[in-house]
Amino acid sequence: TVYNFGSINRDLIHEVPHMPAPGETLAAKRYSVGLGGKGANQSVACARAGAKTVHIGAVGQQDTWSLAQLEGFGVDVSQIRRVEAETGHAVIYVDPTGENSIVIQHGANAEQSLEAVEAVLAKANSGDILLLQNETPFTEETAKLGRNRDLFVIYSAAPFEPDAVSAMLPYIDLLVMNRGECEELERRNKMPLADIPVPHVLVTLGADGAIWRDQSDGSVTHVAARKVDAVDTTGAGDCFTGVLAAALSEGKNRKQALEMASAAAAIQVTRPGAAPAMPTRDEIDAALQD
């Protein structure tokens, strides 16, 4: 089982003729609403890849839409609390060049209960996976709970906050970053990747694939990215992380898990959107046959 304590957002996507200037009122050319939030994206990727995925989080009292979306993608929503605050949302502007501009309202994502998280993890078994990102409070406390219960704790350090990462390191097994985040961490801590005090580090490298470094012996496993025509890379990292967690929870080894995640992310970037673009297990398996 993969337990993912993470954010759930409604992405309010506005296609605009240009980015609005200060004081300007602008009509959107197209509008759509999609499921988003790094937490929800990773849960969807993980569930679609075939893992039992329990999402721990919070949405607004009246919001049946987000739960229905998650459930439709195969995520276990029984541990998502309904709280007073509205479901989190992201107002997204996308201009004709594909550039985006985003304002996030955390809403219900900020109203988590550590007691509720603890109650869920009390049912987890040694070897289960705990997935965390930076869009909820109590990540450090939750990582500690996971460590105490002997879960394999994966922390996706995004959106990147250097202080949050340093605080998490003692309690996690695998730190996941993209290239930019890794460079920032190395620069801020004046510490090369090799010296980061954590058992394992995974760095995604966009079209260059990804590396997994075992910090205890320095061994590096590389996976290439597959050659595809990317149309929208939003959520590529979330896809990679969610599918990797699914593969590890099945007992796949490092190399196999990386191959699965890379195949999945290569499909995900050829489709618009984040959560709705996550591939199914059948699609991933078909890609792995090629």
**Which residues sit in the known binding site?**
9-11, 37-41, 135, 178, 204-209, 232, 234, 237-238, 268, 271, 273
Can you tell me which of 269, 274, 275, 278 binds ligand ADP, judged by CB under 6 A?
A: 269
Asked whether position 267 contacts ligand ADP by CB under 6 A, the answer is no
**Which residues are CB-contacts of 123 (< 8 A; sequence separation ≥ 6)?**
none
Can you tell me which of 100, 105, 113, 233 binds ligand ADP, judged by CB under 6 A?
A: 233
Of 77 and 243, the one with the shorter C-beta distance to ligand ADP is: 243
Residue 242 CA, distance from chain mean position: 6
Distance CA 267, CA 287 (A): 8
Asked whether position 258 contacts ligand ADP by CB under 6 A, the answer is no
Asked whether position 206 contacts ligand ADP by CB under 6 A, the answer is yes
Specify the stretch interacting with ligand ADP by CB under 6 A; choose among 63-71, 160-168, 186-194, 227-235. Answer: 227-235
Of 199 and 206, the one with the shorter C-beta distance to ligand ADP is: 206
Is 238 one of the annotated active-site residues of the chain?
yes
Smallest distance from ligand ADP to CB 34, Å = 16
Distance CA 97, CA 114 (A): 42
Smallest distance from ligand ADP to CB 68, Å = 26
Asked whether position 265 contacts ligand ADP by CB under 6 A, the answer is yes
Peptide bond into 159 cis (omega under 30): yes
Can you tell me which of 209, 242, 273, 279 binds ligand ADP, judged by CB under 6 A?
A: 209
Q: Beta 9-15 vs 2-5: how paired, if at all?
A: unpaired
Residue 18 CA, distance from chain mean position: 29
DSSP 155-184: EE--S--HHHHHHHGGG-SEEEEEHHHHHH
Pick the catalytic residue from 173, 195, 238, 290.
238
Do 35 and 114 meet the contact criterion of CB atoms below 8 Å apart?
no
Task: For 19-136, list the strands marked E by DSSP.
Answer: 30-36, 53-60, 80-83, 88-94, 100-105, 129-132
Can you tell me which of 178, 243, 277, 279 binds ligand ADP, judged by CB under 6 A?
A: 178
Q: Which residues pair with 152 in a beta bridge?
A: 129
Of 153 and 274, the one with the shorter C-beta distance to ligand ADP is: 274
Q: Which residues pair with 13 in a beta bridge?
A: 32, 92
Q: Binding site for substrate: residue ranges?
A: 9-11, 37-41, 135, 238
Positions touching ligand ADP (CB under 6 A) are 178, 204-207, 209-210, 225-226, 228, 230, 233, 236-237, 240, 262, 265-266, 269
Catalytic positions: 238
